Amino acid sequence: MERVSFYNQKRFERDVEKTFTSQGDFIQRLIPGADIQHVSSTAIPNSLTKGDLDIQVRVSEYQFNQTVEAASLVE
């Protein structure tokens, strides 16, 4: 079993925010009109986290198939 270590969110705050901004911009160009949210423990001040950046992307049902297709082309 893999050992998991948790750290205070402040340890990753700057790097996570910078990465979220750049990835959010990329996703917005790929999927115009998508609702892009920073979720999970790195989004909560002073929480304990492994340091993973979790991004939620929401689209309308009409954009869904186009979004899956666009996302599948990203390497």
17: CB partners within 8 A, 6+ apart: none
| pLDDT value at residue 24 | 96
Taking the chain (75 residues) in consecutive chunks of 10 residues, what is each chunk's mean pLDDT?
92 93 96 95 92 95 93 85
72: CB partners within 8 A, 6+ apart: none
User: Domain residues of the chain, as ranges?
Assistant: 7-72
